[in-house]
A and B are shown apart, each in its own frame.
Chain A
Amino acid sequence: MEKILNEALSKGAKEAEVYRERGETTTVNFQSNRLKSIDTSFQDGTGLRIIKDGKIGFSSTTNLNDFTSLIKSAFTSAQFGQKALLQFPSSNKINPVDCFDSQILSLKTEDMIEEGEKSIELILKQAPYFECEVEVEKTVSEVAILNSQGLKYSYRKSFYAFSIHAFLAKEKNFLEIEEEETNSQYHPYSSSLAEKIIQQAELAKRSAKIFPGSYPVIFTPKAMPIIFQALKRGINGKMVQKKVSPLLSKLEKPIVFSSINITDDATFPYGISSSPIDGEGMPSHPTPIIREGVLKNFIYDLQTAAILKTKSTANGVRGYDSLPSPSTTNFLVDEGEMSLEEMIEDIKEGIIVDQTIGSGQGNVLMGEFSVNLDLGYKIENGKIVGRVKDIMVSGNSYDLLNRIVGIGKTSRFVGSTKTPPFYFSKISVSG
């Protein structure tokens, strides 16, 4: 890496940055309740960013034997690149963050197979009609960054992911239940995930009908990313810089209900987006996004922040083959005070939304969504009475986040979003 950096500088780059990712991923796949394949991937990729004649150039490669062409490509791209307003960070004080678990490193493939088999066994014991697809995955990687301002830092990262997809095909009535846990730390997930699948299968056994109209609704943590996608895009520095974010003039103003608090925090221990630095070497730190309903911050990488004459929030997220771009890390939503049971008991007639299809279409930026309910339940007089399907659920997420009846008191990670369930006063349901 030093060689590349020095070579780039000696060829006339004013500044340079080398970013390398190396890793190993092993995935154990089960299909139709049986072990199907074991996959291992060894990756090694390097990205080079330079500043030449005031412009940014970038290139990437997986073949370090031939780094002269990497440098040549970066120089070519700099001829047309964006005007460089950013300054690479020097060796800031970087505090370690828990994002590596040596237990994952030493985890044997045989143990992963056993965990997978166990989860399927548990599910089939209760629900023999399911075809289960299970994926158990571990990743161990090393990220290293080096720049011409003297920054030189590397850290190790690990992941352990366990996902189950239970499927039942009945004429005119397909049932799919998906559960997943991902963490930087090892946990034996087989029993807890199997339990979740079985519980849902029980609830889905009966079917219920609902007429089109407006109803109170509970979104489970699994469904909450639909609600947060607009906010995540709205606070993205790029969207702010391009002046397309609807939150443009809303800093320090209430945008959602006053009981909502959200923080973006890559220092959170063992989240899937935890890391000591971002993709361009800025030390990670918590960034308040929402405090008591009030918008506190947008998120930035170095270049976007520099364009807007503000500071990076250490949200320059990247892979080796791309330039950093603002993105949320661990998106942490504070818990509230209501239990899921209390929410259900509180509803006379309403629905629970758990899995949907079709999110991310339409006018996401403005908060609009309209999704088909893939897995959801009907509540009557404080009790779940059965599964509802063949309905569309639509609304506006900013509107919903202002119509909160209750926020759940236990949260879980769904991808890199940690959220409790939310109970909203009404949502539109159509046939």
Chain B
Amino acid sequence: MKSYLFSCLEKIKSEYVEIRYEEVVSVYIHYVGKELESIGEATEEGGGIRAKEKGGWSFVSFNNLDKLSSYLNFAVKQARLSKVNSINLAEVPSRIEIIPATPIKDPRQISLEEKYQLCTRYNKILLSAKEIQTSDLRYADVHTIKYFANSEGTYIQQERFWTVLGMAAIARRGNNIQSAHEGIGGVGGYELVENQEKKAEETARRASNLLNAKPIEKGKYTVVIDPKLSGVFAHEAFGHLSEADFLYENERLLKIMRLGRVFGNQNLNIIDEPPIPGEGGFYLYDDEGVASRKTYLIREGRLVGRLHSRETAAKMGEEPTGNARAISYEYPPIVRMSNTYIEPKDVSKEEMISGVRRGIYAKGFRGGQTNLEMFTFAPEEGYLIEKGKLTKLIRDFNLTGNIFTTLNNIDTVGNDLVLFTGPGGCGKGGQFPLPVSTGGPHIRIRDLVVGGK
């Protein structure tokens, strides 16, 4: 592959060209209730070319590798159509690397029969709790070999196994429908999804318990959020604002997001770190062939960094961080997060809750959205906190607020960091789902708007 890609690149005259090619084989199993909705294997092969001429970028994706040379010509010609201004790329060393994946249990060595049995077992557990109406269970293992070559002489070949299990139990009593979800797995082999019977049991129990929960009155509360929610908060509410492609050509936003600005209290550190083995957002080289690294976004409450592609780094005069990612060969790389988390401090969850007179303990994550200024999250379940104790189970509420105000209202950071990955992912610019992990310790937020009945 290396010599083929380089030989095609050599024939092309352009300021900058890169080729990505992916070979993907995936196995999927999907249960809804007692029925198997789908089971099978899919093969996908395809490539993407990015070319840069003075004017701008051109991107071409394709399935037929034999015609690479003609696609390259097309890409360069297309790039010449945009003749506006110049794009520079931050310098990075050129490299040649071949990175194999080493899962403990190679999913390709496990028969479909065995995977089917595993899913059937978990699915039965999901359906066995009281008042469970239906389940939704998705299993997938994906083997990818990704080839990257560019006109600067870099060649990187990365292999990856992605094995995930998503479980949902849906309980119903009349018009009261409640669901609980669990995402398991990430970058790695079949071992990640084995022995998860307990998780399945817990998920079903959670959904069924939620039927007894009570809605809550709308209003402002002090809210303690669990690691799942604090991770999503770090990612959704703050992480996206740190993606330099939102900022680098927008002077007004850049003024708001200036480095050094205080966003939170001294205990608050937010980090993006791709090279954490096993996590959903793990990678060593991004889709521009740049080595990944740990980046502090917020340190001691101050904005200290952001996530870059080579282009945004050059434009802003900062170091590239290796955060240019594409969900597949069909898309060009854009600035994305990887494993984003809030760094743990030293307060236990119990201490945090005991300091609240009246508030809410919110757990789990059903969904969320932000528009760079506001966010809304739907937790899975929650408890009312009264005089420092968890009392009533509550349901169907959401958390919403202004991102900047909320960051400033984080008054306590816990000591129990957990990172979560799963079958879902992050969406941006039409590219969904991108594998990421999010995490954090428990954190406490003052004056958060809780919407409910």
Residues in A lying within 8 Å of B, measured CB to CB: 31-32, 34-45, 57-63, 66, 69-70, 73-74, 76-77, 79-82, 109-110, 113, 129, 131, 167-172, 174, 176, 212, 238, 242-244, 246, 321-323, 357-363, 365-366, 368, 370-372, 374, 389-390, 392, 394, 430-431
Is B94 among interface residues, defined by CB-CB distance under 8 A?
A: no
Contacting A at CB under 8 A, from B438-453, are 449, 451-452
27 contacts between A and B (CB under 8 A): A31-B249, A32-B249, A36-B82, A38-B78, A38-B81, A40-B59, A40-B60, A42-B63, A60-B42, A62-B43, A63-B43, A73-B41, A80-B36, A81-B36, A113-B82, A131-B249, A169-B372, A174-B371, A212-B218, A242-B32, A244-B177, A358-B398, A362-B398, A368-B396, A370-B452, A390-B374, A390-B402
Beta-carbon contact of B43 and A73 below 8 Å: yes
A38 touches B449 (CB 8 A): no
- Chain A residues with CB under 8 A of B194: none
User: Contact between A77 and B61 (Cβ–Cβ < 8 Å)?
Assistant: no
Q: Which of B56, B252, B370, B449 contacts A357 (CB 8 A)?
A: B370
Question: What residues of A have a CB within 8 angstroms of the CB of B373 in the complex?
Answer: 174
A244 touching B133, Cβ below 8 Å = yes
* Residues in B neighbouring A360, C-beta threshold 8 A: 367
B369-A59 in contact (CB<8A)? no
Q: Are the CB atoms of B134 and A244 closer together than 8 Å?
A: yes
Within 8 Å by CB of A79, from B82, B112, B172, B371, lies B112
Q: In whole angstroms, how far apart are the Cα atoms of A278 and B82 in the complex?
A: 38
For the A-B complex with A43-B330, A246-B175 known, give 18 more contacts whose Cβ atoms are closer than 8 Å.
A31-B249, A35-B84, A37-B58, A38-B81, A39-B60, A60-B44, A80-B116, A174-B371, A176-B371, A242-B134, A244-B177, A321-B44, A358-B378, A361-B368, A361-B378, A362-B378, A394-B451, A430-B449
Judged by a CB distance under 8 angstroms, whether B16 is at the interface is: no
Give Cα A360–Cα B64 distance, bound, in whole angstroms: 38
B252–A61 CB distance below 8 A: no
Residues of B contacting A368 with CB < 8 Å?
396
Q: Does B427 contact A (CB under 8 A)?
A: no
Q: Is the CB of A430 within 8 A of B33?
A: no
Residues of A within 8 A of B58 (CB): 37-40
Expressed in whole angstroms, the minimum distance between the Cβ of A344 and any Cβ of chain B is 25
CB distance from B60 to the nearest CB of A (A): 5
Chain B interface extent, by class = 35 or more
Interfacial chain A residues near B386, Cβ < 8 Å: none
Q: How near does chain B come to A260, taking the closest CB pair, in angstroms? A: 22
* B172 with A244: CB separation less than 8 A: yes
CA distance A131 to B372 in the complex (A): 14
Q: How far is the CA of A63 from the CA of B45 in the complex (A)?
A: 6
Flag whether B366 is at the interface (Cβ < 8 A): yes
Assembly CA distance A41 to B430 (angstroms): 14
Question: How close is A266's CB to chain B, nearest CB, in angstroms?
Answer: 23
Residue of B nearest to A362 (CB): B378
B74 and A40 form a contact (CB under 8 A): yes
| Contact B374 A374, beta carbon cutoff 8 Å | yes
Closest-CB distance, B136 to chain A (whole angstroms):
10
Nearest residue, chain A, Cβ from B120: A80
Q: Is there an interface contact between A362 and B39, defined as CB atoms closer than 8 Å? A: no
B98 interface contact, C-beta 8 A: no
A110 interface neighbour in B71, B81, B398, Cβ under 8 Å: B81
Given contacts A59-B41, A169-B253, A366-B175, contact A358 B376 (CB under 8 A): yes
Q: Which of B22-68 contact A (CB under 8 A)?
A: 32-33, 35-46, 55-64
Q: Do A362 and B396 touch across chains, with their CB atoms under 8 A apart?
A: yes
Tell me the minimal C-beta distance from B186 to chain A in angstroms.
23
From B42, B56, B367, residue with most partner A Cβ within 10 Å: B42
Write the nearest CB–CB distance from A215 to chain B, whole angstroms. 15
Interface residues of B in 57-113 (CB under 8 A from A): 57-64, 71, 74-75, 78-79, 81-82, 84-85, 112-113
Are B112 and A62 in touch, CB under 8 angstroms?
no
Contact with A along B393-407 (1 / 0, CB 8 A): 000101010101000
Q: Note all chain A residues with C-beta closer than 8 A to B33.
A: 242
The answer to whether A44 touches B63 (Cβ under 8 A) is yes
The residues of A that contact B39 with a CB separation of less than 8 Å are: 77, 80-81
B170 on interface, CB distance cutoff 8 Å:
yes
- Chain A residues with CB under 8 A of B37: 82, 323
Q: Which residues of A have CB within 8 Å of B375? A: 357, 372
Q: Are A169 and B252 in contact (CB under 8 A)?
A: yes
A109 to B56, CA, bound (A): 14
Let me know if B368 and A69 touch, CB within 8 A. Answer: no
Please determine whether A323 and B42 come into contact, CB atoms closer than 8 angstroms: no
Beyond A174-B373, A242-B33, A374-B374, whether A61 also contacts B57 by CB under 8 A is: no
B332 at the interface (CB under 8 A from A): yes
Q: Which residues of B contact A212 (CB under 8 A)?
A: 218
Which residue of A34, A45, A362 is within 8 Å of B84 (Cβ)?
A34
> In the bound complex, how far is the Cα of B178 from the Cα of A362, in angstroms?
9
Q: How far is the CA of A372 from the CA of B367 in the complex (A)?
A: 14
CB-based contact A392/B63 at 8 Å: no
Instruction: Tell me whether B449 and A392 are in contact (CB under 8 A).
Output: yes
A190 to chain B, nearest CB (A): 17
Cβ of A129: which chain B residues have Cβ within 8 Å of it?
A: 252
Determine the chain A residues whose CB is within 8 A of the CB of B35 once the complex forms. Answer: 82
Q: Is the CB of A171 within 8 A of B256?
A: yes
- The reply to whether B43 and A61 form a contact with Cβ atoms under 8 Å apart is yes
User: B195 in the interface, Cβ–Cβ < 8 Å?
Assistant: no
5 A-B pairs closest in CB distance: A77-B40, A358-B376, A37-B57, A32-B249, A361-B378
- Cα A243 to Cα B62 in complex, Å, equals 42
CB A399 to nearest CB in B, in angstroms, measures 12
Q: Which residues of B contact A361 (CB under 8 A)?
A: 366-369, 376-378, 398
The docked-state distance in angstroms from the alpha carbon of A366 to that of B402 is 28
Closest chain B CB from A16 CB (angstroms): 15
Judging by beta carbons under 8 Å apart, are B249 and A365 in contact?
no
| Pair A69/B43 contact, Cβ less than 8 Å | yes
Is there contact, CB below 8 Å, between A40 and B367?
no
**A38 contacts B59, CB within 8 Å?**
yes
